[in-house]
Structure 1
Amino acid sequence: MSIAQNPLSVEVTLPREDVALIVVEGYLDIDTATEFRHHLANQLHHGRKHFVIDLSGVPFMDSSGMNIVLRIYQEVREISGSVQIVSPTPAVRRVLDLTGVSITVPVSESLDAALERVDASPQ
């Protein structure tokens, strides 16, 4: 599937100075993973160390998307940061569970729950 058929939309807001909320919509796959990675890298560059990734608008995610989530998780751990996944669609949640990503990267059902986890993480 081409990018034109399944464009990726990534919206970044800052609920707090060091927290980036990344709302992703569309297919997160090999065709769109680089764009997603650029958004995360930009926020890391600007000093964000906590990433809350809302996947409620992602009907499909392949290993490219999972690898980027795991890569940013590893990068922010080095600076005492965190990554939280929020509201994955059932199909994405199944992939996260089957691959074990959800064991490494916490999954929350709401933004508030994810922000509570950020507050509880070691600073």
Structure 2
Amino acid sequence: METENAYQPEPLTVTSTTTDDATVVAVTGEIDHNSADPLIQALDPGSLGGRTRVVIDMRQVTFMDSSGINVLLTAQRNLTPVDGWLRLAGVQESVLRTLQIVGVDMVIPCYPSLPEALAA
């Protein structure tokens, strides 16, 4: 009897750090319906401790579906009324293409690197 190895994506990991005036949320893995909860929790206004400027470091995000797009748009919607902002840094080409197709890059600024996103 042969056993097929089913594809198992790596679990999504999310870590948050703070700089002088922003929260940096570093994300690793695939953002989809089954894995988005840690990112949702990290971007929840209560988890941000009153900080309204957020950069998501996406250098290690290898895939994102519509669930991830919804998480980003919800975070943007929550931050805008309180004079905050959301920026994306280091988005891989395949994920950036998805963001461009649906127009998210027109709503949430994308920067090539974390330092550029923080300095903008």
CA distance in 1, matches of 2:86, 2:93: 20
How far did residue 39 of structure 1 move? 1.1
Counterpart residue number, 2:3? none
How far did residue 32 of structure 1 move? 1.0
How far did residue 29 of structure 1 move? 0.5
Counterpart residue number, 1:33? 36
Tell me if 1:96 matches 2:115. no
Tell me if 1:8 matches 2:12. yes
- Is the Cα contact below 8 Å between 2:24 and 2:57 reproduced in 1? yes
CA-atom RMSD in angstroms: 1.6
Count of residue correspondences? 114
Tell me if 1:66 matches 2:102. no
Q: Which runs of 5+ in 1 are unaligned?
A: 118-123
Letter in 2 for 1:15: T
TM-score after normalising by structure 2? 0.88
2:86 to 65, 83, 86: 83
Letter in 2 for 1:96: L
TM-score after normalising by structure 1? 0.86
- Is the Cα contact below 8 Å between 1:20 and 1:43 reproduced in 2? no
